[in-house]
Amino acid sequence: MRTIDAVRRSGVAIEPHRTVQDAAAVMERSGVGALAIVDDERLVGIVTDRDLVRRALARRLPLDARVDSVMSTPVVTIAADADLHDAFALFRSHAVRRLAVVREDRFVGMISVDDLLVDVAADLADLARPVTAEVLFAHRDSPVPATAGKG
């Protein structure tokens, strides 16, 4: 199985000069918990909902602080066509919860530990799929996300 085939939703990106508040709004609108930080088509970082809480709010950063001030970098990436087993290996070796999926160095999606757990669990337990799909990841009223527009 290719990694790209396990990606459950379109990747959502934001530019590094956008603000912490912008990032929160994009996450909320898109129903995702992590955004790629993309500068002129170059992937430069990743920011999660947890980063906004722990690196921005807990540190009293102003909400108009640049989002790249709270992002994680460098980003651990995996090629879209890589075997999914390679993703398991990267999660194990890098202690991260998410990998950026790239094709020819361009960001195309995000895959999380949770995505992989869903596949593992759902293969054997129908119960896991609705729990994860409906409760863990999605916002009830969120549309399918698209890449955030340029700001």
Partner 1 sequence: MRTPDEMERDRYGFPVAALTGDTVARITPEANLNEIADALTAGTVGALVMGHEDAVEGIVSERDLVRALADRCDPARTCAADIAHRELVWCDAAATVGEVAREMMEHYVRHVLVEEEGRLVGIVSARDLLGAYAALDGPTAD
Number of residues that bind partner 1 (CB under 8 A): 40
Smallest separation (angstroms) from partner 1 to the CB of 12: 13
24 binds partner 1 (CB under 8 A): yes
Does position 132 interact with partner 1 (CB under 8 A)? The reply is yes
Q: Contact between 95 and partner 1 (CB under 8 A)?
A: no
b/e burial code for range 56-77 (CB count within 10 A of at least 16 → b): beeeebeeeebbbebbbeebbb
Rounded to whole angstroms, how far apart are CA atoms 48 and 96? 12
Residues 6+ apart with CB under 8 A from 134: 140
Least distance from partner 1 to the Cβ atom of residue 144, Å: 18
Structure tokens given for 88: 């398991």
**Rounded distance, CA 92 to CA 96, Å?**
8
Note the residues at the interface with partner 1 (CB under 8 A).
20-21, 24-25, 27-29, 33, 49-50, 52-54, 56-58, 60, 63, 84-85, 88-89, 114, 116-118, 120-121, 123-125, 127-128, 130-132, 134-136, 140
